[in-house]
Amino acid sequence: MSTSDLSPTRESLLPALRRALDLAAGRAQLILDRYPNYLPMYTVGGKWGREGERWTHWCEGFFPGILWLLHHATGDASWRHPARSLSRRLEPRQHDRAVHDLGFLFFSTYLREYHQTGEPHLRDVLIQAGRTLALRRQKGGYLCSFLGPHSLFIDIMMNVGLVFWAARETGDADLFRVAREHCQTTARHLVRPDGSTAHEGLFDVETGQFLRQSTQQGWSPESTWARGLAWALYGFTTAWGLSAEDEFLPLRRPEWEGILMHGVYHFHKGLGVDESVAWGDYLFVEALVKAIAGKSEVG
């Protein structure tokens, strides 16, 4: 068996990826046909249109976002009308001050359409939505969750990019400062030293002082809610891309001298626990060199 048989290339994966996209397109068309004007959130028994409690209305942009993605990926104009029609239902929410989820709503819809059309009205809506989201800023330097001014969610990292985007489009330094402070506060209080994340942070509203970590979705305040960790990874990366602030994309605390972190030499003796280890660094570099060379033996 050759090395190429064990190392699939992008080209070799394309047929499977296209089949997956075809499946997604088929399911999207099923929703359009079976549930007209419907904005899905979650299935019940595998079926759409049966949702119970929605808690908050934060998912309405995802399905039209899929339609915009299909339109862009396939060039099929038939996706454009339903994508635009369902997106326009969200337009009044550019002024929605009851939720922290405006990035979810408008990045997946209006921003994707704006990238494809450049229509000025879409830009105006995005900027207003960013300004509305920025109004959630609290004394502690964060955008509060829908639960109230005392609450900071890790989820908001998926939405703060909208404030950065509006700041960049308008040159508004105050908007940029609000977005940057939110990211800094989130990193300081919700991202733990080991890289895990808390779902929620609680603050004293009067003083802005951080009180403690909490959770609405995770197992406990001390646990790592998997979706929240994904929100943090995606959100901080997006914040870095929109702000060019390297602090939001750290490879490691700056004084760390090893290459890989979180290795263990001898746990029971307490030696080299959660540290860099020489063999880990060696094998990582070896793997990099082999991957770049495209062969297993590199001298």
User: Both 259 and 244 in a single domain?
Assistant: no
Q: Given its phi and psi angles, is residue 46 left (phi above 0), alpha (psi -120 to 50 degrees) or beta?
A: left
The pLDDT tens digits for 160-190 are: 999 999 999 999 999 999 999 999 999 999 9
Output the CA–CA distances (angstroms, integers) from residue 72 to 7, 120, 182, 244, in the order listed.
29, 19, 32, 27
Contacts 24+ apart (CB under 8 A), 28-35: 28/63, 28/66, 28/67, 28/70, 28/79, 31/63, 32/82
Give burial (CB, 10 Å; 0-12/13-18/19+) of 133. buried
Q: How many domains does the chain have?
A: 3
Choose the weakest-confidence range: 75-84, 108-117, 135-144, 275-284.
275-284
User: Both 129 and 24 in a single domain?
Assistant: yes
Per-residue pLDDT for 257 more than 80?
A: no
Record the pTM: 0.83
Structural domain contains residue 260 = yes
User: Both 142 and 130 in a single domain?
Assistant: no
The whole domain housing 30 covers 15-42+56-134
% pLDDT > 70, the chain: 94
User: Both 174 and 232 in a single domain?
Assistant: yes
Q: Under a CB-based contact definition with an 8 Å cutoff, are residues 140 and 210 in contact? A: yes
User: Both 115 and 65 in a single domain?
Assistant: yes
Mean pLDDT of 265-289: 79
Where does the pLDDT of residue 242 fall: very low under 50, low under 70, confident under 90, or very high at 90 and above? very high
Where does the pLDDT of residue 67 fall: very low under 50, low under 70, confident under 90, or very high at 90 and above? very high
User: In the prediction, which pLDDT does 169 show?
Assistant: 97
Per-residue pLDDT for 286 more than 80?
A: no
